[in-house]
Each structure stands twice: as structure tokens, then as C-alpha cells.
Amino acid sequence: MEPLDYNGFLKTLAEENPSEKWPASIQSLWFDAQGNWEASHNIAQDIHDNTGSWIHAYLHRKEGDDWNAGYWYGKAGRPFPKISLGEEFKQLVLFVLETDFPKQ
């Protein structure tokens, strides 16, 4: 199943694993949504662009490491967010679906 929007992404969480055909960015977010911070972080730290830095920042913010998160938000060219983690997660998923996911 390929997510076309946020609700579609949420439906993929019923799967055992994300598709290996998906971009690393959406795979990282999928693992985070599954509660697997470590797998998500391992993928995010190997994405060497602004999107990877943003995901990396979000994960450290979620972890409670604001100093490290701040560093990665800076690398992503984004300010430290003043929204909830849930809102930021949704923004990330929507951004990745729009920018990194193959269009049909």
C-alpha cells in the first residue's frame, strides 16, 4: 500500500514493515509512528539533506534532547518549533509525501 495522503500513511501502519520501495524519509517516519525511535533515527541520520536533518531534529526533540534537536533544526534551515510533536509529525509526513514520494 502506498500512502497518498496523511490518512493513507496512517493506514500503512497496519503493515508489518514499510515498503522497501519507499524513500528513506517516509520509512523513517513510518518507524517513528510505530514507536521504533532507534530504527527511525538510524535511517534519518543517513539522509544527508534538509529533510533528513528535519526528521533528525524532530526525533531528538521527541527524545527530549533540545540541544541536539536545535543543532539539527539549524542544519535543516528551520526554527525550533512551537507546536506539539504530533502536529510536527503530521507536517513532516505531509512534506515528505509532497516532496520525496514518487508521484503516480
Distance between CA atoms of residues 30 and 74, nearest Å: 24
Residues of the domain holding 31: 24-99
Domain tally for the chain?
1
In a domain, 11, yes or no: no
Does residue 58 belong to any structural domain of this protein?
yes
pLDDT in tens, 39-78: 999 999 999 999 999 999 999 999 999 999 999 999 999 9
Residue 57: inside a domain: yes
CA–centroid distance for 29 within its chain: 4
Residue 35 domain flag = yes
pTM (2 decimals)? 0.94
Residue 80 belongs to a domain: yes
Domain presence at residue 9: no
Nearest-angstrom CA–CA distance, 86 and 72? 18
